[in-house]
Amino acid sequence: MEFQSPGAILFTVGPFSVRWYGVLIALGFISATYILSRRASQWGFDSEKVINAALVAFIGGIVGARLYYVLLSWNYFQTHLGEIGATWNGGMSIHGGIIGGALAGFLYCRKEKLKALLVADLFASVVPLGQAIGRWGNFFNSELFGQPVPDSYPLKLFISEEHRPVGFEHNAFFHPTFLYESIWDLLLFLILFNFALVKFRNYPGLTSLLFLAGYSVGRILIEPLRLDSIKFGGMQAPLLVSIIWLFLSLMAIFMLAMHYRTKTKSQPDSPPISQSNSQTESGKLDETSLN
């Protein structure tokens, strides 16, 4: 199967161009937020507040993703200051987006007195869906592709000559790493939303940590294939950060699980955490949960 971008621009109206990258980022956010709002309502949360939290986290994520990318690429941006805000051309780091979004969302939850860990778990279960959709924006921008593959390779991405990196001008086909990550994120969403979010509902924070661990594993597997990763100390920065995040999240999962185990033993008759006893316990992404 061969993939080839039709171009970065969806359509143009006068002097304004609408790019696939922005449309897909917005589509990912809308899709994830819709599912999030339905599950939040089932859990007894104020849907309006949760949607507002999602919007705040989204804005914080965009800012964090861009600033993180700019800082890691400062050698370029220090002489191209006018391009710092040009997010429509790509150049967003998901690691920075997670940090910025988590911080903004946490501050909003504190302000509105929402249970931050439960809200974080809700967000963590749908964020991979937004990422899975948003990664296709990289396809239209002809970016985030991997190493060259032979013409006979069963899954390949054609990159036009003007988008090929230096040293690879004569290679036409590359690993579609955007697709690999999109598929990984979609699988992660299905597991977190349909299983982890329900299984660990009474253990706030575990689903969020599982998201960090699962996403990190995906990046560790896929990142070595990429050609355009930002380097830090001779190593791919996203790969290094993913390894650190995986280690820290696994340690945190163990510590949090031990904390809940100890708490359960000391309070065997304590009621489970619940936002509303009248809400359904179903966690599957089906007609019941979405209609």
The answer to whether the Cα torsion of 161, 165, 170, 176 is positive or negative is negative
H-state helical runs in 196-236: 197-199, 206-222
Judge contact between 58 and 87, C-beta under 8 A: no
Averaged pLDDT score across all residues of the chain: 87
- The pLDDT, as a whole number, for residue 71 is 84
- Find all residues with CB under 8 Å of 5, minimum gap 6, and list them: 139, 140, 141, 142, 160
- The pLDDT, as a whole number, for residue 119 is 93
Judge contact between 148 and 157, C-beta under 8 A: no
Residues 106, 93: Cα–Cα separation, whole Å: 20
Residues 275, 127: Cα–Cα separation, whole Å: 21
- The pLDDT, as a whole number, for residue 234 is 74
- Owner of token pair 């200051």: 81
Residues 75, 184: Cα–Cα separation, whole Å: 32
Please state the domain extents for the chain. 7-202
pLDDT band for position 221 (cuts 50, 70, 90): very high
Beta bridge partners of 13: 16
pTM for the model? 0.84
- Find all residues with CB under 8 Å of 78, minimum gap 6, and list them: none
- The pLDDT, as a whole number, for residue 274 is 47
- Report whether pLDDT(164) > 50: yes
- Over residues 3-55, the pLDDT tens digits come to 999 999 999 988 888 999 889 999 999 999 999 999 999 998 888 999 999 99
- The pLDDT, as a whole number, for residue 291 is 37
- Over residues 238-282, the pLDDT tens digits come to 899 999 999 999 999 999 999 998 887 776 555 555 444 444 444
Residues 116, 185: Cα–Cα separation, whole Å: 23
- The pLDDT, as a whole number, for residue 109 is 92
Residues 101, 240: Cα–Cα separation, whole Å: 21
